[in-house]
Amino acid sequence: MHKIISLTIDPLFVKSYNNGYPLISKEALLNWQKVTEEGSIINLYDTHKKFIAKGYYGRQNKGYGWVLSSDKNENIDVDFFKKKITAAVNYRNDFFSSKKTTAFRVLNGEGDGLGGLTIDYFEGYYLLTWYSVGIYTFKETILEALKSSVEYKGIYQKKRFDAKGQYLDDTDDFICGEKAPEPLIVKENSGKFAVYLDDGAMVGVFLDQKEVRKSIRDTYANGKTVLNTFSYTGAFSVFAALGGAKETTSVDLANRSRAKTQEQFEVNNIDLEKQNIIVEDVFNYFKYAVRKKLSFDMVVLDPPSFARSKKHTFSASKDYVKLLKEAIQITAKSGIIVASTNAANFDMKRFKGFIEKAFKELGAKYSIEETFSLPRDFRINETFKEGDYLKVVFIRKY
């Protein structure tokens, strides 16, 4: 049984919650000290004791919990979660019927009315990711709702928290059904990826970049030399190669990136002889490339929002201009830079400002070819702009 607590909203925030704002923040509550138990049901009232919304308490880096309903009498039970999951599945019906793509997001947190939880689909398997202890207290209820809403081969989970709200790496992420093969081969716009549903925090591919990869393959890669930095398992390189790239170079600091990237090439029957896979700090590689006077027709920049190596610390909001300047110097004339960030603490306008500043400081000219944000399966809540975190800009250097 989840404890039910009544809290009062600061008058400055009432209008936002009436308009559907989903994040429950400490600043918005006048008496937030009353709630101490993760998973508590929170009834939000204005200072005149008028009911505004109902949610749950679950601390994560974004805030103190999420709004679930504007109906005071709604029970947060199996039927409630089943309704949310069914609506999310129906919204993505065309994805389920696609023969070209068999991996996508089924439920995108607050975008589908369940902040703190995401559900991804991989070729018949479902992966739930819990972002707070609070939402995890509803695990059995949500699982019952999911099982009665969809057909599944197996269900897995990732816990992106521990007692301090950080990632908890369980030894076994399998929940029920049949276990997935290792690797599980999924399709994305007819390309293939090897994913592992029970292998730490990541599965092997970031699904939010599907349209960006498609554009690289279909529009930009043919006959080009491509540098993919912070390459992880080489997904951008794979689609560049599928698009006819003359040569790809994938650079990532993680030792396991080499074998993982080779595997992604192999499942797509791509000739490894034309693919360079380098385990190196990206900033050290930039220095090497400048020293050797290397030049690439396309440079992909997709760094984490924050990263630390032995010699470098990278923060997207502070260091992206520097990163762009490094990339500009080794991009061929008329070449393309794919600048991407998943940092939620700045918007596309500011990101374009980083681009303008980098080119201006180097005295170089550019044009923006196209931009991308989250694909349709990563549904967003229009009142919560921070949820539309992905920003990708295709830049042509002159």
What pLDDT was estimated at residue 170? 52
**DSSP codes of every residue in 306-362:** EEE-SS-EEEHHHHHHHHHHHHHHTEEEEEEEEEEE--TTS-HHHHHHHHHHHHHHH
Mean pLDDT within 147-171? 78
Say whether pLDDT at 370 is over 60: yes
Say whether pLDDT at 234 is over 80: yes
pLDDT digits (tens, 9 = 90+) for 273-283: 999 999 999 99
Beta bridge partners of 128: 119, 157
> Residue 387 and residue 395: Cα distance in Å, rounded?
24
Helix (H, G, I), strand (E, B) or coil at 181: coil
Tokens of 70: 């504007």
Q: pLDDT tier at 161 (50, 70, 90 boundaries)?
A: confident
Say whether pLDDT at 165 is over 60: no
pTM attached to this predicted model: 0.95
With residue 78 as reference, give the H or E element that holds it.
Answer: helix 78-91
Mean pLDDT within 86-108? 98
Say whether pLDDT at 311 is over 80: no
Query: Left if phi > 0, otherwise alpha if psi is -120 to 50, otherwise beta: which for 271?
Result: beta
Contact yes or no for 164/134 (Cβ under 8 A): no
Mean pLDDT within 378-387? 96
Total residues belonging to the chain: 398
| Whole-Å CA distances, 262 to 232, 268, 359 | 11, 10, 34
- For the chain, give the mean pLDDT: 95
Mean pLDDT within 312-330? 92
Say whether pLDDT at 2 is over 80: yes
> Residue 138 and residue 148: Cα distance in Å, rounded?
16
Minimum mean pLDDT among 86-100, 136-150, 159-173: which range?
A: 159-173
What pLDDT was estimated at residue 167? 47
> Residue 78 and residue 187: Cα distance in Å, rounded?
32
Mean pLDDT within 252-269? 96
**Percent of the chain residues topping a pLDDT of 70:** 97
Contact yes or no for 128/156 (Cβ under 8 A): yes
What pLDDT was estimated at residue 74? 96
Quick one: CA torsion of 200, 203, 206, 210, rounded to 10 degrees?
180
| φ, ψ (nearest 5 deg) of residue 92 | -110, 25
pLDDT digits (tens, 9 = 90+) for 6-53: 999 999 999 999 999 999 999 999 998 898 899 999 999 999 999 999
> Residue 51 and residue 393: Cα distance in Å, rounded?
43
Contact yes or no for 57/117 (Cβ under 8 A): no
> Residue 315 and residue 346: Cα distance in Å, rounded?
12
Domains of the chain: 4-69 (2.30.130.10), 78-189 (3.30.750.80), 206-397 (3.40.50.150)
Mean pLDDT within 319-330? 96
Say whether pLDDT at 129 is over 90: yes
What pLDDT was estimated at residue 289? 97
